[in-house]
Amino acid sequence: EPEVTQTPSHQVTQMGQEVILRCVPISNHLYFYWYRQILGQKVEFLVSFYNNEISEKSEIFDDQFSVERPDGSNFTLKIRSTKLEDSAMYFCASSDDRVGGYTFGSGTRLTVV
């Protein structure tokens, strides 16, 4: 069964450093998403991406965050200057239409120290 692949599975970074989280969505999917879960809290939406541009973003997704689909297969989330409160499990997901279930990756655990 097709999978969404995320790398790395765990990243530790120093506060203020830039990180890039990588995702390979399912190849024929059209919609791509990033979500995150801070420990003990709900899974929360960051951004959705369709037709090579951001279609929706949450208040969390400020100027420190950016997404890119550089080569038609990868979908990356960049955090320019990480803060302690960015520590969370980051999930990439993709779907083939707006009303289908999402396929999630297994997540990248980001720890900012």
Least distance (Å) between residue 83 CB and another protein: 20
Instruction: Check residue 61 for interaction with another protein (CB under 8 A).
Output: no
Cβ-contact 78, 66 below 8 angstroms: yes
Alpha helical stretches, state H, the chain:
none
Within a 10 A sphere around the Cβ of 92, how many other Cβ atoms? 28
Judged by CB under 8 A, which stretch of 21-29, 64-72, 75-83, 94-102 contacts another protein? 94-102
Q: Does 58 bind another protein (CB under 8 A)?
A: yes
Give the residue, chosen from 45, 65, 66, 78, that forms a contact with another protein under the rule CB under 8 A: 45
- Tell whether residue 55 is a contact of another protein (CB under 8 A): yes
Count other C-beta atoms under 10 Å from residue 53's C-beta: 8
Q: Is residue 102 part of the contact set for another protein (CB under 8 A)?
A: yes
Please give the size of the binding site for another protein, defined by CB under 8 A: 26
Residue 75 in contact with another protein, rule: CB under 8 A? no
Question: What type of residue is 59?
Answer: E
Closest CA to 21 of 29, 30, 12: 12
